């Protein structure tokens, strides 16, 4: 008797059918959105905004789980190993997704391009340099001058973070000797600046905007090619005659590779639709966030690949070391 083995087409059809059936029942349990940052950071804010809307729209619980540490690599590696069933997602950003693999090639336990599938961009924001009120610094130029005459430190969200790499690139190009003080999250760095125990911090705009508006700290530069509509009086580095380094952080939702296409597409459509509503747009403005570019999952994957390549080249060209 001749045995008949299923053809590759039959196997593919079976896999597709299983994926479609799984997606049809999704979400059948609470979904966890892992945030590889400490509470209060921009990624955490974005994740909680999205989780609340998805919970309402999909009639199922969406829980945010903060897993900070190692510049976002701990939480990211956790999701890379998670079961690809749509029940574990990752709210990622430029630091852990595009920068960390280039800075820590031996210690990064995931490959951003092969371990994840893109769902949708969720927001972006430029990096801002801010100083403490007790520092006596009045401008970015003043900060550079003072750093060359006295010992000064800057805080970041941790080694390998976008904030850290941005400042190290500036130090290398402008040649000013600020000492890096890594924290577990940007909220700790900001607290040190507010308490006048640290002179400078670099961070995305949302965690800083309230303190800037309240004159509790002073923003001296926006690291982007254009000014921010939220703090229009703060100049860009290009305007100040310094290197025109653009450091805009993206935030996006991704899933473990192998997550059913139907689930990914459902989430993509849900996120795009929520960002189109006036109510959610107002939430974005209240957090000083730039709305995302609408992309399909395939287009978002291409964007992520481009960011990984771009920051890899930046790290190589600047010869930045964090060891």
Q: For residue 316, what pLDDT is reported?
A: 81
Q: What integer pLDDT is reported at residue 22 of this predicted model?
A: 59
The reported pTM is 0.81
Helix (H) or strand (E) holding 261, with range, is: helix 261-276
What pLDDT sits at residue 161? 78
**CATH (residue range 27-124+250-318):** 3.40.190.150
pLDDT tens string for the chain (323 positions)? 555 555 655 554 555 555 565 577 899 999 999 999 888 888 998 999 999 999 999 999 999 999 998 889 999 999 999 999 999 999 999 989 999 999 899 889 999 999 999 999 999 999 999 999 999 999 999 999 998 888 899 998 877 778 888 888 888 878 888 899 988 778 889 999 999 999 999 988 988 999 999 999 999 999 988 899 999 999 998 898 876 677 888 999 999 999 999 999 999 999 999 999 999 999 999 999 988 999 999 999 999 999 999 889 888 876 766 65
pLDDT in tens, 29-44: 999 999 998 888 889 9
Is cis: bond before 27, omega within 30 of 0?
yes
Distance between CA atoms of residues 66 and 58, nearest Å: 22
* Residue 7 confidence (pLDDT): 62
Alpha helices in 81-198, H assignment, sequence order:
94, 100-103, 140-147, 162-174, 186-194
The second-level CATH assignment, the architecture, of 126-223 is 3-Layer(aba) Sandwich (3.40)
Quote the pLDDT of residue 93: 94
Domain residue extents for the chain: 27-124+250-318, 126-223
Domains 27-124+250-318 and 126-223 share a fold: yes
- pLDDT of the residue at 9: 56
Strands 200-204 and 217-223: unpaired
């Amino acid at each position: 008797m001749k045995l008949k083995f299923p053809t590759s087409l039959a196997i593919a059809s079976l896999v597709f059918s299983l994926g479609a059936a799984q997606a049809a029942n999704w979400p059948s349990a609470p979904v966890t959105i892992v945030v590889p940052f400490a509470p209060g950071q921009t990624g955490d804010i974005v994740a909680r905004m999205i989780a609340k809307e998805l919970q309402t729209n999909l009639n199922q619980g969406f829980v945010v789980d903060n897993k900070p540490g190692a510049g976002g690599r701990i939480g990211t590696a956790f999701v890379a190993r998670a079961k690809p069933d749509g029940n574990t997602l990752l709210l990622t950003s430029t630091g852990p997704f595009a920068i960390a693999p280039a800075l820590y090639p031996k210690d990064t336990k995931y490959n951003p391009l092969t371990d994840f599938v893109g769902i949708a961009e969720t927001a972006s924001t430029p990096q801002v340099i801010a100083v403490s009120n007790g520092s006596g610094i009045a401008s970015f130029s003043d900060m550079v001058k003072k750093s060359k005459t006295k010992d000064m430190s800057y805080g970041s969200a941790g080694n390998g973070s976008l904030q850290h790499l941005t400042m190290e690139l500036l130090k290398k190009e402008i040649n000013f000797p600020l000492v890096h003080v890594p924290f577990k999250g940007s909220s700790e760095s900001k607290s040190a600046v507010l308490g006048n125990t640290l002179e400078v911090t670099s961070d995305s705009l949302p965690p800083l905007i309230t303190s800037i508006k309240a004159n509790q700290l002073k923003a001296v530069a926006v690291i982007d090619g254009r000014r921010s509509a939220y703090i229009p009086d703060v100049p860009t580095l290009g305007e100040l005659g310094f290197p025109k380094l653009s450091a805009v952080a993206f935030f996006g939702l991704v899933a473990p590779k192998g997550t059913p296409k139907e689930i990914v597409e459902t989430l993509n459509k849900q996120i795009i639709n929520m960002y189109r509503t006036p109510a959610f747009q107002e939430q974005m403005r209240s957090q000083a966030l730039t709305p995302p570019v609408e992309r399909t999952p395939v287009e978002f994957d291409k964007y992520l690949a481009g960011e990984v390549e771009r920051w890899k080249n930046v790290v190589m060209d600047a010869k930045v070391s964090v060891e």
